[in-house]
Structure 1
Amino acid sequence: MYSSYYQSPLGILRITATDTYIKEIHFCRDEEMPASFEPATLTPLLQLCTEQLIGYFQGVRRIFELPVHQEGTPFQQKVWTELTAIPFGKTISYLDLARKLGDPKVIRAAATTNGKNKIAIIVPCHRIIGSNREMVGYAAGIWRKKWLLQHELKIAHGVQTLF
């Protein structure tokens, strides 16, 4: 495992990878911050991920082209795959997600799995909103979710405010 840090507009992201895939992108809380940011030797994959995140935040990248993997049940894998199918600048509700999974009754399980996503931004769990179009649930904070959605909407459609 290799880790690096990227200072995003929303705070520091810790990127964890193996030689072959991105395993985690996590918004660091203050208590998770390293004592110092000594220059790390970036693996090619960590460098590529950082470059793509920079492009995303600069508004020039809408799709990530990175190998990702996170441990999970077949159901969880299916949920995370559905998340990656949500287009940049679009949102769907938790109910819509459950329907895409083939059963509206799995809404709670889908929401729980969405919350367990460890690859922020690239597996875009921030694109899931409440059925009433309200901002609900985001482990990194609703303010970050709102920022990400407004950023994408602005880039995709030139719209200034979503919520």
Structure 2
Amino acid sequence: MKIQLPIGEFWLTATDKGLSHASFVPLLVENEDLDNPYLIQAKEELLSYFNKERTQFTVPFDIQEGTAFQRATWQALCTIPYGETRSYQEIAEKIGNAKAVRAIGQANHRNPLAIFIPCHRVIGKNGQLTGYMGLSGIELKKSLLTLEGIPLP
């Protein structure tokens, strides 16, 4: 399902168990069911988020990919509260692998549920904004952080 957000086009896919992908780039979907209740819920929650009416997402996830490390990283990201940030180092420490800072960045890059799993809330140890979907995504990251009231460096 393609939707229009204030920051651009966004794509969602879901299974019969929950939201499976959310992306700023088109997703290849076969037999898309636009009546899927998880797609409808995800769209409503995103629009509420962008209207500053929602700070948490409740749509169930159905992530069917990722290594154990990536999944642990994504779970840790979901604990970062709305309006706050954490460093890559803090996330590495949270999952019990303090030396895995670069790997945290790679797990973020493979995040299947952009915005819903808030990898945009992860910043450099020095407080600087670092990669979000490559260099071109920094503006998206800034937009999401600004929406949440997080001061930019």
**Quick check: TM above 0.5?**
yes
Provide the rounded CA distance (Å) in 1 between the counterparts of 2:14 and 2:97. 33
Check whether the contact 1:9–1:57 (CA below 8 A) recurs between aligned residues: yes
Q: Check if 1:162 corresponds to 2:152.
A: yes
RMSD: 1.8
Provide the rounded CA distance (Å) in 2 between the counterparts of 1:98 and 1:133. 16
Provide the rounded CA distance (Å) in 1 between the counterparts of 2:27 and 2:39. 18
Equivalent residue of 2:11, what SS? strand
Q: How many residues align?
A: 146
Equivalent residue of 1:153, what SS? coil
User: 1:29-77: per-residue Cα shift (whole Å, max 9, x none)?
Assistant: xxx499xxxxx84321111110000000000000000111321111111
1:141 equivalent in structure 2: 137
Check whether the contact 2:87–2:124 (CA below 8 A) recurs between aligned residues: yes
Pairing 1:55-74 to 2, within 5 Å after superposition: 55-70=48-63, 71-74=65-68
One-letter code aligned to 1:77: R
Provide the rounded CA distance (Å) in 1 between the counterparts of 2:93 and 2:147. 27
Check whether the contact 1:153–1:162 (CA below 8 A) recurs between aligned residues: no
Q: 1:113 aligns with which of 92, 107, 117?
A: 107
Q: Which runs of 4+ in 1 moved over 6 A?
A: none
Provide the rounded CA distance (Å) in 2 between the counterparts of 1:42 and 1:145. 30
Provide the rounded CA distance (Å) in 2 between the counterparts of 1:68 and 1:10. 23
Structure with greater Cα Rg: 1
1:14 equivalent in structure 2: 11
User: 1:118-141: per-residue Cα shift (whole Å, max 9, x none)?
Assistant: 101000000000111111000161
Q: Normalized against structure 1, the TM-score is what?
A: 0.84
Pairing 1:32-71 to 2, within 5 Å after superposition: 32=26, 41-70=34-63, 71=65
Equivalent residue of 1:120, what SS? coil
Check whether the contact 1:93–1:129 (CA below 8 A) recurs between aligned residues: yes
Check whether the contact 2:15–2:62 (CA below 8 A) recurs between aligned residues: no
Structure 2 regions of 5+ residues with no counterpart?
none
